[in-house]
Chains A and B, each alone.
Chain A
Amino acid sequence: MTSVVVTGMGVAAPNGLGAADYWAATRGGKSGIGRITRFDPSGYPAQLAGEIPGFEAADHLPGRLLPQTDRVTRLSLAAADWALADAGVDPASFDPLDMGVVTASHAGGFEFGQGELRKLWSQGSQFVSAYQSFAWFYAVNSGQISIRNGMKGPSGVVVSDQAGGLDALAQARRLVRKGTPLVVSGAIEASLCPWGWVAQLSGGRMATDDEPARAYTPFDRDAHGYVPGEGGAILILESAAAARARGARVYGEIAGHGTTFDPPPGSGRGSTLGTAIRIALDDAGAAPSDVDVVFADGAGVPELDRVEAETISGVFGSGGVPVTVPKTMTGRLYSGAAPLDVACALLAMRAGVIPPTVHVDPCPEYDLDLVLHQPRAAVLRTALVVARGHGGFNSAMVVRAAA
């Protein structure tokens, strides 16, 4: 079976714009969570988020793209550019049909949609931009990345909340295995606008504190919700043979993936998260003892944390593997979270360092070896990334260091 590797990454995170800044912040335990500045949050029950600072779209993208794009697409296009440059790929030197794009999306272009809805309501339908036809849409990031870079191979979008970030990478891996030499994949989210905010609040799981260091504390004895953020990562996936042939630097291999869907609440049947993890391990030809670190989903909601903690100790044994939740420094990024965790895992492998889980005072009932407060030096060959989406989506991915 074709081995599929990551050769480039573009990162946009609340605690760092670009992979180097993100990794320096994450390894150092620097959080990007704070009070919302994009709009006045004082009238809303929740006021904290992980905002990406310092992204000026006009510095990164041509003027022609600005009137037709939401912030999420601008970030995605810039991150895709960085990932391609990082991989040493000039798309113009590829056959357009040899390049595909698969991203995940949870919200689409909310802020653009908010502006157009405001015009529709206050001025009338003729004032709605023609670009609204696609600028809000889940598939817009795949589409715009494809158009900007002339990528006409198999492409698509996956919509399965936080799990979607891994599901998209898995779909990209399938496309590479079916013969598309290069696929741009991953996800970015950005819906920190009033309309996006109330949509997120409606889920009922957001923390409503105003103390950035205590609002999102997965696996904590006082876990009580999550803080959302914006950002994610775009990765370049290639067949190992193609990467080798062009002399590309390889971060690591997407070695295995598993996905399951939970039974309905009240059915009496438990979560199938453990099955997803076992499928991913089997797919990678790995045993639990091969896994050197787990990047947990870290819902920050007690009943979800409990299921994840029990699942991890069920698969790996009590305290059997180091577990970390770097998203404590970014907030939960929906489908952007897991690609960022995959990028983080690859950077961690290269550095030989597990980044910390910050601000957490772990619940003693969970048998987890959480990497708290400080980074931990470790030889990392194999990492497991876990992502769970609202409504029962489970996804797990095994990432292996470059040989």
Chain B
Amino acid sequence: MTDSRFTFDDLKHILLKAAGAEEGLDLDEDILDTTFEDLGYESLALLETGGCIEREYGIALDDEALTDSLTPRELISTVNELLAAGRAA
């Protein structure tokens, strides 16, 4: 089942597609615990990122989940919980 886990690389891929890269920001794993707001991704960019994840992985993210104070680690974890719940169902 490991191949269907949502990884940091998957998130990075979607972030770049949905919202582009902030200048001078290196998307490496050091950013896992920085909030999206501090990374420069405003609410609409986050909404678009969430929409991309939903479409690609066939899950539905709770609107409440996508807050400015969300971190990449939390988002990855939420997506993996939903994927696991989907597999269990």
Measured CA separation A65–B16 after assembly (Å): 11
A66 contacts across to B, CB distance below 8 A:
20
Measured CA separation A92–B45 after assembly (Å): 24
Contact surface of B with A, Cβ cutoff 8 Å = 16-23, 40, 44-45, 47-48, 51, 54-55
Q: Annotate A61-98 by CB proximity to B: 1 below 8 A, 0 otherwise.
A: 01111111000000000000000000000000000000
- Which of B17, B21, B47, B55 is close to A64, meaning CB atoms less than 8 Å apart? B21
In contact, A130 and B51 (Cβ under 8 angstroms) = yes
Q: How many residues of chain A get a CB closer than 8 Å to chain B's CBs?
A: 13
Measured CA separation A65–B41 after assembly (Å): 11
B40 contacts across to A, CB distance below 8 A:
64
Q: Annotate A94-130 by CB proximity to B: 1 below 8 A, 0 otherwise.
A: 0000000000000000000000000000000011011
B18 contacts across to A, CB distance below 8 A:
67
Shortest distance between the CB of A78 and any CB in chain B (Å): 16
Q: List 20 A-B contacts (CB under 8 A).
A: A62-B21, A63-B16, A63-B20, A63-B21, A64-B20, A64-B22, A64-B23, A65-B20, A67-B18, A67-B48, A68-B20, A68-B45, A68-B48, A126-B51, A129-B48, A129-B51, A130-B44, A130-B48, A131-B44, A131-B48
Measured CA separation A131–B18 after assembly (Å): 10
Closest chain B residue, CB of each to CB of A123: B55
Measured CA separation A62–B44 after assembly (Å): 17
Shortest distance between the CB of B67 and any CB in chain A (Å): 15
In contact, B22 and A62 (Cβ under 8 angstroms) = yes
Using known A-B contacts A63-B20, A66-B20, A67-B18, determine if residue A127 contacts B48 with beta carbons closer than 8 Å.
no
Shortest distance between the CB of B7 and any CB in chain A (Å): 21
Measured CA separation A126–B51 after assembly (Å): 7
Measured CA separation A68–B47 after assembly (Å): 12
Closest chain B residue, CB of each to CB of A129: B48
Q: Annotate A242-254 by CB proximity to B: 1 below 8 A, 0 otherwise.
A: 0000000000000
Give 19 A-B pairs besides A68-B48, A130-B44 with Cβ atoms closer than 8 angstroms.
Answer: A62-B20, A62-B22, A62-B23, A63-B16, A63-B22, A63-B23, A64-B19, A64-B21, A64-B23, A64-B40, A65-B20, A66-B20, A67-B18, A67-B19, A68-B19, A68-B45, A127-B55, A130-B48, A130-B51
